[in-house]
């Protein structure tokens, strides 16, 4: 993460936002609430909430990063982009307070989005992530996940294989996930894959819908 004009900055977020926007335009028309998990620098939250002004965009990140995330969010001054809150996917209670009724445990969203997060989580955290999605996504709601994946155990590019090794050198519990394994966990948590979009820089945008 770098800083640009005193704000945290990710070149990757800048590079992928237009490609992600194209998928969002296809799928977010019926959404009024969206939960972002792993907001990072806040570039996605600021960019997309300014375009989708009718969507209440709630960004989150680990406690250690929330203050940095809020540097950009608070500067946007958008009514549909409130202050980011802390969220650890490994906690049984995500503590997502509903501003309308004060319900802390059962707040649900029309859509949930995360970018470049599953490969920096441990395998158990990925499982916890999907369990939390099942609790906080409305019926027929959408989960959109951006990032690199392996297919049938193989990397989609040499650069992804090198990236996977770099991740594991930093944290042996991290790494690019197998699509089939992730999709099996999604199905277990009542999510049906509806799209797998090829994205720039050997990434994918996976779109699931929740079924009851």
Question: Which is nearest to 36 in space by CA: 6, 77, 80, 3?
Answer: 80
Checking if the pLDDT of 100 tops 60, the result is no
Looking at residue 90, its pLDDT comes to: 98
Looking at residue 17, its pLDDT comes to: 97
3 state SS of 95: coil
pLDDT greater at residue 97 or residue 107: 107
Checking if the pLDDT of 98 tops 70, the result is no
Model pTM? Answer: 0.94
Pairing between β-strand 149-150 and β-strand 7-9 as defined by DSSP bridges: unpaired
Q: What is the residue range of 51's domain?
A: 2-210
Looking at residue 207, its pLDDT comes to: 98
3 state SS of 45: helix
C-alpha dihedral sign at 47, 76, 97, 39: positive
In which element (H, E) is residue 189 found? none
The total of structural domains in the chain comes to 1
What's the mean pLDDT in 79-105?
80
- Percentage of the chain lying above the pLDDT 90 cut: 90
Rg (CA), the chain: 16
Cα separations in angstroms, 185 against 69, 118, 126, 191: 29, 13, 9, 9
Mean of per-residue pLDDT scores for the chain: 94
Tell me the per-residue pLDDT of 109-136, one tens digit each, with 9 for 90 and over: 999 999 999 999 999 999 999 999 999 9
Give 1's pLDDT tier (boundaries 50, 70, 90). low
Checking if the pLDDT of 9 tops 50, the result is yes
Q: Report the CATH number that the domain containing residue 206 is assigned in CATH.
A: 3.40.50.150
Tell me the per-residue pLDDT of 44-63, one tens digit each, with 9 for 90 and over: 999 999 999 999 999 999 99
């Amino acid at each position: 993460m770098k800083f640009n004009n005193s704000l945290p900055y990710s070149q990757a977020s800048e590079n992928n936002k237009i490609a992600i926007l194209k998928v969002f335009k296809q799928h977010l028309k019926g959404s009024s609430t969206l939960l972002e998990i792993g907001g990072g620098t806040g570039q996605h939250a600021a960019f997309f909430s300014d375009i989708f002004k009718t969507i209440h965009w709630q960004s989150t990140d680990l406690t250690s990063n929330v203050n940095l995330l809020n540097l950009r969010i608070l500067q946007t001054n958008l009514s549909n982009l409130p202050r980011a809150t802390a969220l650890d996917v490994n906690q049984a209670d995500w503590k997502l307070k509903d501003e309308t009724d004060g319900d802390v445990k059962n707040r649900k969203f029309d859509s949930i989005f995360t970018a470049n997060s599953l490969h920096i989580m441990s395998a158990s955290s990925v499982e916890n992530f999907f369990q939390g999605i099942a609790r906080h996504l409305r019926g027929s709601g959408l989960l959109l996940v951006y990032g690199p994946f392996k297919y049938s155990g193989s990397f989609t590019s040499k650069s992804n294989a090198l990236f996977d090794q770099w991740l594991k050198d930093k944290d042996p519990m991290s790494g690019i996930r197998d699509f089939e394994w992730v999709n099996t966990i999604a199905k277990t948590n009542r999510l049906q894959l509806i799209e797998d979009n090829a994205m720039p820089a050997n990434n994918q945008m996976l779109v699931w819908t929740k079924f009851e």
